[in-house]
Structure 1
């Protein structure tokens, strides 16, 4: 509670209005005697006391309040013609007397780029009676604070302006938070753009392979080719999803590489395979020039594939239909040099400087050449990061607009004598047949897994929801239950809890199947009673190892 003491009706009204807007309970008095009476009756937390009062001087009123034991603890703040709170003086950081002598001198403390705008706002306030503006304030110590000022002019009973009343609020932290949120929002947009860009690459050849398999009479050779394409691109897609959906890794700017000895030819072939549908759809011709012999590099096969699929994708995307593309590899023994050429719209010198910047690349010549096809900047920014992580470099070359572009990637070569090509995986030996229950509301996923396990000699029982799963588990007594967590009505955790409560099912091995694979997710499934945790799409090798372990445990 604040007691506002002032014999001027206008000043008392202005201060009272400001305090009430700020959420305070305000009492008012126009004389010293009235103020003393209200202090004794209501014991306010603060008395705003004008010095000049009609009956008792404000200084005497303050002395009387402090001399009375019942009111001595009351906080008294004396005001004068121009009142400024201590918090305002702290924010201002300049001598308050300067403002007392010349109230308009506040403009000199406004940041130069905001000064003219605030002068216009102040002058407009004198006309329309209100100001609400934000500006940067330069304090006496040189520090810059961001301020929101709300004010209005006050006139006397004759209608003549004689002062300005208002509030200044330090919003520095708030504005910093806003900028941080905007920055994170931009990062989110970049992430989503990159996500869409990266996931479409392996999806395209998978779609083409699926279309081939669904054609009327695919040859045996075409069937095997389509199967291999789907397997390779599915592996690539799984790694991409695992990495791209790790939000904490993305926001911290961390990309983790697998440190392997990789045959560069494999990465190039997979990249070409991923972009081939786009190349063919736009009628381009792709010329390959790759030397004979091994081309080992140290790095991550999936990330290397990302590098070259991005470059090929951009070349095919931004080159006019019927264009000429080339993928060329050369080596000087120590460095492998990969060039991706096109005869597309080319790049100006300004665009070449900014081409790897995700914030400005979209304004480059290529983005202008094909309107509405943004995303090149995101892909090239990722390419640059990945190449650097592999110890290499990347740059763009172009003779100018309309003269095509070349992107050059240089990677450290490994000694070819250290290269030992990986042999194909041997088929896992068939273990003892197991009785497996699959619980999944996705019929396609359920049937595909059932057919696969049955083809390997296992007995399969299926269920599409929790109640059916519980009944069939009791009836069939499976060795292992593959349980999808995202079930409707009764989720996987509840199903597991009920299964664990049935005595005759205590021997059953419960395996959680889910799209969530973070450490916290694995901890949660373990605490819920699951024995193992598999992430979708389920790795068949991992599942077969679990089934083999059942036999070893027995």
Structure 2
């Protein structure tokens, strides 16, 4: 109520009609102003309640200690499965429904961080109906006109759907990783079978030679058996290597000299190169002689074997205008961060509309279309990449300098 005399500190009566009218006008202005303030406050409160009662988040407000509830929005009933009235009667129930494994951490964080505005916790709640939900709860301080803390306010959001979605994505990634590993074994099966059969066959030959040479000197027999043991160890190493990849889904990287790996690829594929009348050119000695990289020896060998084999196959798949068929393996180590091992051929090139790394896409009659896709997966598992640097399409016009270039990029560290 407005005190009519509060505008008249001397408590004097107006002595003229004009003075009385002026005082009345002033009182009416004050009444109108206060009425406007009350209406504005009511509108603000109505807007606040409309907002708080229709948002999905639970808006809450307590005293500075958090033990007296000032306000809780209706969304609490839907998320917590409890009535708002039950919380007004016992504010401690808001955090009492927190999952047993999360409760102590949440309570400690609330007491420690809420007043500073640093409280932001994700936890589970157990509803009365037995359902578990994930909640993200945040708090911030509210200060009065004197800068004193007088309330805590915050929002609690149900993020159960988001957590479940992330779990499904994680499971999908695990499924994809498993499928990729199976694809790796399928695509590399022929090469890895050779890696196993070669040392085992050699070991059998050495053992057979030793059995027939019991009349020979003991040192000769011992040397033969040692070579057999070495070959068996190679086979066992490949098996263990595949087992580790199946378990971990990542390559076993060790500091390796690159030159022996490239030399082995050449030796393994030399019969196919000769049979297809393809001349092989290895890397310059000065570019590779002392080069060592943290790589998985078996998988890098498989990648290079696949690239060289594809280059050889390309000559038989297309019309070759040049009489001289060439495959080059080059090493570019000019970059400080990575090394490129390039496999280059002067075959018919790769059509622009062919996505060479697309799984199950192949131009070979007997191909499954996994070779290059798996090779790129293996390259990227090293932290590198496999890149089609040049499709070499100009070779179809008779340009003998045109080249199809695949680059295996491997990090130095």
TM-score category (smaller protein):
0.3 to 0.5
Q: Taking CA–CA contacts closer than 8 Å with sequence separation of 6 or more, which of the two structures ends up with the larger relative contact order? A: 2
Q: Considering only CA atoms, is the larger Rg found in Structure 1 or Structure 2?
A: 2
After TM superposition, the score normalised by the length of structure 2 is 0.41
